[in-house]
Amino acid sequence: MKTTDNIKETLHKLGLKELNHGVSTGSENFGGGEEITSYSPVDGQLIGKVTSATKEDYERVMESATSAFKTFRTMPAPQRGEIVRQFGEKLRELKQPLGELVSYEMGKSLQEGLGEVQEMIDICDFAVGLSRQLHGLTMHSERPGHRMYEQYHPLGVVGIISAFNFPVAVWAWNTALAWICGDVCVWKPSEKAPLCGVACQNIIAEVLKENNLPEGISCLVNGDYKVGEYMTADKRVPLVSATGSTRMGKIVAQAVAGRLGKSLLELGGNNAIIVTPDADVKMTVIGAVFGAVGTAGQRCTSTRRLIIHDSMYDKVKDAIVDAYKQLRIGNPLDENNHVGPLIDKDAVKMYQDALTKVVEEGGNILVEGGVLEGEGYESGCYVKPAIAEAENHFEIVQHETFAPILYLMKYSGDVENAIELQNGVAQGLSSAIMTNNLREAERFLSAAGSDCGIANVNIGTSGAEIGGAFGGEKETGGGRESGSDAWKIYMRRQTNTINYTTELPLAQGIKFDL
């Protein structure tokens, strides 16, 4: 287990210091703004400091990025793929220290921290293959001697705003694809995990330098919401990819739409698992517990609601409550523990307020929560995963609480009633059904079924693979990242018509003789 005493070795391997430049265009590192201080939620200790971006720093970054794009867009896509391949190899070499940093700075378990770095590696592998598959289409023209086709070109500068809960993977999902597409990237990491951003920039900067590529292909701009405002208002940034709360996403969407830019939004989730009479209870418990307490409930795909058929309710409830007794809460760098801390004390207060609210609205606490104190819990960020019986219409249930609180509720009758409850929230990210009934499963996956971007059968709501497009509907924002054809949002589409005759026929038979 890594401790505070030897975490310095991890920081050293990633090129991190006590005070780090939080603005970078590659090998050029600077930042004249206020310092951002990073404390670990694991033990409350100071990890390091990062300088933030001033308006002048941001302009310097944008000048570098727009200049780099002119070169990078002309590099053949397979050659850009080679750069991403090398980045993936660096990540393999540094998987252990980077995973440890993610765990220590954000608070998720070491297994999850390492898993997040593995997601970065996986998306690099996916992107390398994609670099030879940026396909367009060929169409038949209605005019003789003409050929029509469509192709995709790079957009330009892609702005990336990421959240604390996945401080490195979400950036990689975006940037690996954007680079393959010929874009350059400007990244604003969460100010709650700034060192993870600096570490990633250090890694890619080394790759770019080794390949004699220009400054600006990968840029970093640490700072608060003001830096995000620079980006969303900037016409030089044709696409802004933002991950965070629905409140934040609405602000970004309006600002970007106001200048007719494109936005890719990955916002809140309020995810449910439906448990039917034909469910496998053991599988249900595994999926629900991991989904509810993994990353201390701080995933956008975390399981918030368990919608259980009344004939199965007591059996499933008892099994879930019993499973919670086995959870080990503590230092996430100790692989024996299942649950680490929340990100900070603001998150702890939100957790406490939610538990108070659900009782006020008529809910019943099945597994009591609370803040842990004493040896090993000095940061004040460790809480007990809680379970409450609730109703779907409760105000607190309708909102996403980024904490390990699971709401249990009943449904009766057929699966349509459960689906109505599942869909009866403003968010539409992830969903799941536990059933061995083929008709129920297909009904859940049909057009009249789950309204979420992700709908699973006999697995939980969390743990999406990079091969599929990731994202959700309604107040989740409608964006798609990672696999499938998500690459298309990072490019502009162009239709081409070529006339290889000596005549120029006009559309609809119009005559225009000269």
The three-state secondary structure class of 432 is strand
Where is 388: in which H helix or E strand? strand 386-389
326 and 341 Cβ atoms separated by less than 8 Å: no
Catalytic residue among 112, 116, 119, 266: 266
In three-state secondary structure terms, 6 is coil
Q: What is the dihedral of CA 124, 127, 131, 136, to 10 degrees?
A: -170
- H or E segment and range at residue 154: strand 146-154
- Residue 144 Cα to chain centre, angstroms: 48
Candidate list 196, 300, 381, 452, residue with the active-site label: 300
The token duo for 484 is 């499938």
Spatial separation of the C-alpha atoms in residues 251 and 243, rounded to whole Å: 12
d(C-alpha 107, C-alpha 343), whole Å: 6
Cα 110 from Cα 360, distance rounded (Å):
36
Q: How far apart are CA 452 and CA 412, in angstroms?
A: 22
Polymer length in residues for the chain: 514
Phi, psi of 418 (to 5 degrees): -70, -40
146-154 and 46-51 strand pairing:
unpaired
Cα 264 to the center of its chain, rounded Å: 11
Angle between helices 95-106 and 194-210 (to 10 degrees): 160
Q: Measured over all CA atoms, what is the biggest interatomic distance in the chain, rounded to whole angstroms?
A: 91
- d(C-alpha 314, C-alpha 303), whole Å: 19
Amino acid found at 325? K
For the question of residue 300 being annotated catalytic, the response is yes
For the chain, the first-to-last Cα distance in angstroms comes to 83
Residue with tokens 């220009």: 214
CA-CA distance, 343 to 69, in Å (whole number)? 36
Helices (H), 236-385: 246-258, 281-293, 313-324, 345-360
Active-site residues, by number, are 266, 300
